[in-house]
Structure formats: structure tokens, C-alpha cells
Amino acid sequence: KCDVPREWVWARYNKSAVTCSNSSLTVKKTSSSPDYSLCMASSGPLSSGVFTWELGIDQCSRMVIGVCRPSTSVDRRVESSSAWCWWSHGTLCGPDQGEKEIGEYCVGDVIKVTLDCGEGTLTFRRNGVIKGTLTKVWGEVVPFVCMDNEGEQVTLKSRVEQAWAEHG
């Protein structure tokens, strides 16, 4: 087992609707158009290993966090057919999993997300308490936040990658 640090930042987003600051760790929706703006983080798609990241919810009225396919548009709302996610109003959803209410998150909360590519799971914690886990997370995915309303803001607080490699 070895830890392989990777520099994660908000790397892909609609620059006409979102600003990035704080060494590319904070994203803020600055325009009401398009309705939803999706921001992707990481230094590339994730498909093996275990990854954990924390998001500080700085301003929130209607947003969604989770993982999605790298080909997802940054100008549309994410769909549960191609994303595993938790909406700020409390809905947890993903492909072929229906919806489950796990409680809201709001300003001041820290959301910890753990992606286990080997197990195919995505676990969400709010302020250290496990809120829910999605399954069947297979293939290449990227962390994201999708913001609906102008003024919403999120900060990537920490990111850790644990990769398992065979050494021969």
C-alpha cells in the first residue's frame, strides 16, 4: 500500500458563470445563467484506489455534490443516470438506485466524500457523521459540485488518494 498525493483543484467549469479563487480551491457561482453550473475537481479521472475529499459549504441554497462521468457537461444539471450524488435538500441518488432522503447540508457544514473504486462505493459524511452510501460506482468518475443559484460557494478543504500497487 502506498499513498500517492495528487494535486486536486477545481479544473473544469463554466468560466462565464463561475469564478475560481483561493489557489483554485474555491468555486463560486457568479451568474444565474445557465441555471446549473457544474464544477469538476481532480487532476484526472478516478478509476482505481480509494479517494477522500472534504468540501466546506460556504454558501448554499440548492446544490449537489458527488462524482460523475468525465464527459458530463458543465452547463447542465447533473442527472442521476450519470452521477452518484447528494443534493443539499437531502436526496441521495445514483444510477439504478432510486432516491433516498438522508438529511440536508447547509452553510458551515463540512462534507467528507470517500470513493472506494475497488468496492464501487461512494460514502458521504456531514460534519463527521456518516449520512449515506451509494453503490455500483464503476468506471472513470470525477468529483464535482453543481450549483444552481448565484452566490453559492464551495471550498475544497482536503484531498487524499490512497492507491494500492503491486511491487514485484
All structural domains of the chain, each given as residue ranges with its CATH number in brackets, are 2-163 (2.60.120.920)
Place of cell 452566490: 151
Q: Within 10 A of 105 (CB to CB), how many other CB atoms are there?
A: 23
The pLDDT profile of the chain, 168 residues, written as one tens digit per residue, is: 223 345 677 888 888 899 999 988 999 999 888 888 888 887 788 999 999 999 999 999 999 999 999 888 887 778 888 899 999 999 999 999 999 999 999 999 999 999 999 999 999 999 999 999 999 999 999 999 999 999 999 999 987 766 543 333
Place of cell 447528494: 86
Tell me the whole-structure pTM to 2 decimals.
Answer: 0.89
Strand partners, 121: 116
> Can you tell me the distance from the alpha carbon of 45 to that of 141, in angstroms, rounded to the nearest whole number?
5
Residue 144 one-letter amino acid? F
Please tell me what DSSP assigns to residue 117: T
> Can you tell me the distance from the alpha carbon of 47 to that of 158, in angstroms, rounded to the nearest whole number?
19
